[in-house]
Amino acid sequence: MDRRDFMKLGAIAGAAGAGGVVAGEALAMPVNAAEAAKAASIVEASVSDLQAAMSAGKLTSKALVTQYLARIKSIDRAGPHINSIIELNPDALSIADALDKERKAKGPRGPLHGIPVLLKDNIATADKMQTTAGSLALVGAKAPRDAFLVSRLREAGAVILGKTNLSEWANIRSTRSTSGWSARGGQTKNPYALDRNTSGSSSGSGAAIAASLAAIAVGTETDGSITSPASICGLVGIKPTLGLVSRDGIIPIAHSQDTAGPMTRTVTDAALMLTAMAGVDQRDAATAGSSGKAADYSKFLDADGLKGARIGVARNAMGGNLRLQPAVDAALEVMKAKGAILIDVEVPNMNKYGDSELEVLLYELKADLNRYLAEFGTGAPVQTLKDVIAFNEKHRDKEMPYFDQELFIRAEAKGGLDSKEYLDALANNHKYSRAEGLDKVIADNKLDALFALTGGPAWLTDYVNGDHSGDGFSSPAAVAGYPHITVPAGFVAGLPVGVSFVAGAYAEATLIKLAYAFEQATRHRRAPAFKARADVGSQL
């Protein structure tokens, strides 16, 4: 298996299958069209725009939720039918109403007060919604509590609007799947060209926010599953340092690489989300390392943030697609004009942890999923990875009509996390991605960050051959556990492409500063037109 086909540009899952088991009922929630019509425009509206409207009395959270529900009904389940929402929160309107009353009585809790947010359907919520990773095997499981990051968002005053579709099991079931498909949710479509893919595994989060179906969304990443769909959907995505955001209550792949992060239309919104989501969690030991390091990331939104920054241009991480070169050249010219010091570099040893990365993921999948199911799987027909494999075989017509579960089977055959093979693979990952990888090139060149294309534009969705993703820049930061931000950088044939900034552990503030300055200087983000196909032949 070619690791770049499997991991590089994020998740997999494939078929244009049936709609959601639970989603159909949830999406039938009543929508007050008159109330929705009175609300301020939500298309491309930022968190700051929406807060300003609510503060001025021109909008309420309840009206905002109502308008998003109307848009979801007309775009997600009708019209272009992008199929990005797997389930809606039946309590969203009542939660918004309570937050409106609280705002009136006490004022807002903060910048996310009353703001609707979508969660990827692998993030547990102790409410009336399911948490299934898109799999029919987890339908019926009752989460005993919210995931820690969900508690943080609720405390910040956010309205949990619903769950997004994803590449089933976050792209760890098969090597030959198609991103954005799950047995429970069907196929998510790219809102820029409906025959194109959204990448994954945070496919629904990317498509939904690109289409303004909510203000903001949470994605999760093991390798590329935030940054790739964000780039392909013209969004900002942040994969934080491992441990900055708790992994508690998230259906896992691998604890050495898994993290959740924001997916938004602006760097400002991503900074506000990350501020709310980050925090030390006693249930996740990795977060102890972030004590004293999390910050109010909105303080780093500096339009002059590129001035004097030493940025390493990672030429060896950008592939050979000549049609993408104008986007790279234009981005470099902007950064140079804004005062950045650009240094051509090569990220060393990127080819030395491909096989070992997959070994680690398979070992950790077995251990971590079994642990998750022991706590969060009550009510589901499965309690272990072995049970999931058996369930998929029994329900092959629904779960495996287009691709199989060979990675699950390989994971189940692995031993424990004390095995020499696992420990050697993990050590190899950290050696070549950290000390002899990112740490080395950053230190040797005294860099503030590395720069590269996030990846190419969206490929055609293909249920026969699976994904056609090309090179991307997700793996070094993913394997190292270091932060990575992607920001829109233009279009190819009407399809978005993004550029990435990567740095060492807990360098989110620096990356946000650089990305914000780039965003403000370029303003590449634009709303999708839901075209049937890409503008083949057009240039940037």
Residue 402 has pLDDT above 90, yes or no: yes
pLDDT average, residue stretch 364-372: 98
In sequence order, the 6+-apart residues with CB closer than 8 A to the CB of 246 are 147, 148, 149, 279, 281, 283, 284, 287
Residue 426 burial class via C-beta count within 10 angstroms: exposed 0-12, middle 13-18, buried 19 and up: buried
Q: Which of 84, 174, 177, 201 is catalytic?
A: 201
β-pairing verdict for 186-187 and 181-182: antiparallel
> In this structure, are residues 237 and 224 in contact, taking their beta carbons and an 8 Å threshold?
no
Nearest Cα neighbor of 136 from 199, 181, 200 is 181
CA distance 455 to 227: 9
β-pairing verdict for 216-221 and 259-264: antiparallel
Instruction: Give the CA distances from residue 102 to residues 55, 99, 106, 109, 158, in Å, rounded to whole numbers and listed in that order.
Output: 13, 5, 6, 9, 13
Nearest Cα neighbor of 338 from 521, 525, 498, 523 is 521
Annotated domain spans of the chain: 3-522
Nearest Cα neighbor of 460 from 193, 266, 214, 251 is 193
User: Residue 520 — pLDDT band, cuts 50, 70, 90?
Assistant: very high
> In this structure, are residues 134 and 167 in contact, taking their beta carbons and an 8 Å threshold?
yes
| Whole-number percent of the chain with pLDDT over 90 | 89
Residue 16 has pLDDT above 70, yes or no: no
Identify whether 225 is a catalytic site residue. yes
Task: Report the predicted TM-score, pTM, of the whole model to 2 decimal places.
Answer: 0.93
DSSP characters for 61-114?
HHHHHHHHHHHIIIIISSTT----EEEE-TTHHHHHHHHHHHHHHH--SSTTTT
Please provide residue 120's backbone torsions phi and psi, each rounded to the nearest 5 degrees.
Answer: -60, 145
pLDDT at 443: 98
Q: Which of 8, 62, 73, 120 is catalytic?
A: 120
Residue 33 has pLDDT above 50, yes or no: no
> In this structure, are residues 85 and 68 in contact, taking their beta carbons and an 8 Å threshold?
no
Residue 14 has pLDDT above 70, yes or no: no
SS3 assignment for 480-509: HCCCEEEEEEEEECCEEEEEEEECCCCCHH
Residue 236 has pLDDT above 70, yes or no: yes
Tokens of 498: 């993004």
Give the N- to C-terminal CA distance of the chain in Å, as an integer.
33
Please state which CATH number belongs to domain 3-522: 3.90.1300.10
Residue 13 has pLDDT above 90, yes or no: no
Angle at 417 between CA 474 and CA 200, to 5 degrees: 25
pLDDT average, residue stretch 313-323: 88
pLDDT at 469: 84
Q: How does the average pLDDT of the chain come out, rounded?
A: 92
CA distance 484 to 226: 10
Q: Which of 84, 174, 225, 433 is catalytic?
A: 225
Residue 387 has a CB neighbour count (10 Å cut-off) of: 16
CA distance 44 to 358: 38
Instruction: Give the CA distances from residue 88 to residues 4, 65, 69, 83, 163, in Å, rounded to whole numbers and listed in that order.
Output: 34, 11, 9, 12, 6
Residue 23 has pLDDT above 60, yes or no: no
β-pairing verdict for 216-221 and 116-120: parallel
pLDDT at 4: 33
The residue with tokens 């949830």 is: 26
DSSP class of 222: S
> If you count them, how many residues does the chain have?
540
The number of angstroms, rounded, from the C-alpha of 353 to the middle of its chain's C-alpha atoms is: 23
Identify whether 298 is a catalytic site residue. no
pLDDT at 366: 98
> In this structure, are residues 310 and 447 in contact, taking their beta carbons and an 8 Å threshold?
yes
Residue 32 has pLDDT above 70, yes or no: no
CA distance 220 to 239: 8
